[in-house]
């Protein structure tokens, strides 16, 4: 088992440029998809009276992801795209904490727990 991890580590070290390029492409498309999908909760939150207080949180997350997308497109983040992935997932966790603790503290945080289950498999 240890030799398997050692071989994987050697492969990553030997192909660092290709691994960074693959991570860069994955981060770019992830940000495009997330920015497109964040339009849905913003639209729903503006149409429903009870969810209007969520609009600033969704818009802030959208602006952060759009800024990350612009920085990624300009080539400022090509050296370490994994940090962008961690930052993006961290922003989703912050949004989940905000929505489950501040906006609706009486409702069970199922979405938050679901992200804890799913995100380790993505990374």
> Structural domain boundaries of the chain?
16-122
Q: What CA–CA distance (Å, rounded) separates 102 from 104?
A: 6
Higher pLDDT, 92 or 103: 92
Q: Which of 61, 102, 100 is nearest to 116 (CA)?
A: 100
Task: Convert the pLDDT of each residue in 40-55 to its tens digit.
Answer: 888 888 888 878 888 8
> What pLDDT, in 10s, does the model give residues 37-91?
888 888 888 888 878 888 888 898 899 889 888 888 887 667 777 788 788 878 8
- Tell me, what's the pLDDT at 112? 64
Name the DSSP class of 15: T
Residue 111's pLDDT is what?
63
Strand residue runs (E) in the chain: none
pLDDT at position 122 over 60: no
The average confidence (pLDDT) of the chain is 80
Cβ-in-10-Å burial (0-12, 13-18, 19+) of 78 comes to: middle
For 26, which DSSP code?
H
The pLDDT, as a whole number, for residue 101 is 76
**DSSP label of 107:** S
pLDDT over 70, % of the chain:
80
């Amino acid at each position: 088992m240890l030799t398997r991890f050692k071989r994987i580590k050697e492969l990553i070290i030997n192909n660092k440029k290709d691994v960074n390029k693959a991570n860069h492409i994955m981060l770019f498309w992830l940000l495009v998809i997330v920015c497109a999908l964040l339009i849905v909760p913003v639209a729903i939150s503006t149409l429903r009276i009870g969810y209007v207080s969520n609009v600033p949180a969704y818009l802030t997350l959208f602006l952060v992801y759009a800024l990350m997308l612009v920085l990624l497109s300009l080539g400022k983040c090509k050296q370490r795209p994994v940090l962008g992935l961690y930052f993006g997932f961290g922003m989703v966790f912050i949004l989940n904490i905000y929505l489950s603790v501040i906006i609706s503290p009486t409702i069970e945080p199922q979405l938050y727990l679901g992200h804890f289950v799913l995100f380790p498999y993505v990374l």
